Amino acid sequence: MEIKNICVIGAGVMGSGIAQLAATHGYHVNLVDVNEEILEKAKVTMDKNLNRFFVAKDKITNEDAQNILSRIQLFTNRDKAIKDAHIVIEAVYEDMALKQQLLSDLDKKCHKEVILATNTSSLSVTDMALNSKNQERIVGIHFFNPAPVMKLIELIKGKNTSKEILERAKKFSESLNKTIVTVNDSPGFITTRLIYVLCNEAINMKQEGIASTEDIDTAVKLAFNFPMGPLELSDLVGNDIYLHIGEYLSEKLGQYYQPSSLLVEMVKDNQIGRKTKKGFYNY
């Protein structure tokens, strides 16, 4: 089955980025969310991002941008949106039960050759497929934010993902002009597990008072040539997200991944970072 039509479920930060990326590479995209308002917001975001990252940098013309947007159709009715899809990519909230239920429903309704992909950033792809009958067609395709710009895709092979599906998912990912790394399913994969450990350790250092927030970030940026420090990154991603990841990794992989107690306290106090204008920095 040649991939021409894509369905993306969830039109938030990642779903809208993935839809834009796929449409840029000539695919027809059906983008689904729970209401029109979210979908309209996603359309505005895609329009803005196409202009900001591509038209303004003379990478594409205004006409190209309009053609890209015209390849994206918006849906609140999921069953209609998946009808002709050759691959469905879910980018709904990072919630195991929600994703399990969604995948099992898709598995019942999509033709058996359709690839079912999850954009989870940490959850087990194997566990996510447990409620589905055809678990071999469920695979992780982990995009990074912003999806149209970032170069990497982490491809996750669940325990039951077939070789054929993995190969097809890889070809599709390569067609989006990304570099692909393949990972056997494991909590947090490569990227989320490593970045969490870095950020959590930086938060431990902050708590121990060994250096200021600014100095921890400056040290990491200049010593390792990282574009951002771990504390400003945690504020950007959301301290609540890192706490969530830490709880999951420590449950699955052990005590070593236990979130810093400072992180726990900050989230309790709504110091989530940029979203609440207060975190390791004030915004």
* One character per residue 43-82, x = contact with ligand NAD (rule: CB under 6 A): ----------------------------------------
Distance CA 103, CA 193 (A): 24
* One character per residue 102-121, x = contact with ligand NAD (rule: CB under 6 A): x----------------xxx
Q: Using the rule CB under 6 A, is 33 a contact of ligand NAD?
A: yes
The residues pairing with 230 across neighbouring beta strands, listed in sequence order, are none
Among 9, 21, 85, 139, binds ligand NAD (CB under 6 A): 9
Query: Residue 14 or 205: which CB sits closer to ligand NAD?
Result: 14
Kindly list the strands in the beta sheet with 179-184, ordered across the sheet, starting from the edge strand earlier in the chain.
72-75, 28-32, 5-9, 87-90, 115-118, 138-142, 152-157, 179-184
Query: Residue 55 or 189: which CB sits closer to ligand NAD?
Result: 189
* 84-106 exposure pattern, b = at least 16 Cβ within 10 A, e = fewer: ebbbbbbbbebeeeebbebbbeb
Among 5, 6, 8, 10, binds ligand NAD (CB under 6 A): 10
Distance CA 278, CA 283 (A): 6
Tell me the closest approach of the beta carbon of residue 91 to ligand NAD, in angstroms.
4
* One character per residue 128-167, x = contact with ligand NAD (rule: CB under 6 A): ---------------xxx----------------------
Among 3, 12, 60, 170, binds ligand NAD (CB under 6 A): 12
Q: Using the rule CB under 6 A, is 34 a contact of ligand NAD?
A: yes
Q: Using the rule CB under 6 A, is 185 a contact of ligand NAD?
A: no
Query: Residue 32 or 72: which CB sits closer to ligand NAD?
Result: 32
* One character per residue 251-270, x = contact with ligand NAD (rule: CB under 6 A): --------------------
Q: Using the rule CB under 6 A, is 30 a contact of ligand NAD?
A: no
Which H, E and C letters describe 65-106, residue by residue? HHHHHHCEEEECCHHHHCCCCCEEEECCCCCHHHHHHHHHHH
Residues in the chain: 283
Q: Which of 16, 265, 33 is nearest to 147 (CA)?
A: 16
Backbone dihedral region for residue 184 (phi beyond 0: left; psi -120 to 50: alpha; all else: beta): beta
Q: Which stretch binds ligand NAD (CB under 6 A): 89-97, 206-214, 221-229, 270-278?
A: 89-97
Q: Using the rule CB under 6 A, is 11 a contact of ligand NAD?
A: yes
Instruction: Point out the residue whose Cβ comes nearest to ligand NAD.
Output: 12
Q: Using the rule CB under 6 A, is 93 a contact of ligand NAD?
A: yes
Q: Using the rule CB under 6 A, is 15 a contact of ligand NAD?
A: yes
Query: Residue 125 or 205: which CB sits closer to ligand NAD?
Result: 125
* Binding region for ligand NAD (CB under 6 A): 9-15, 32-34, 38, 91-94, 102, 119-121, 143-145
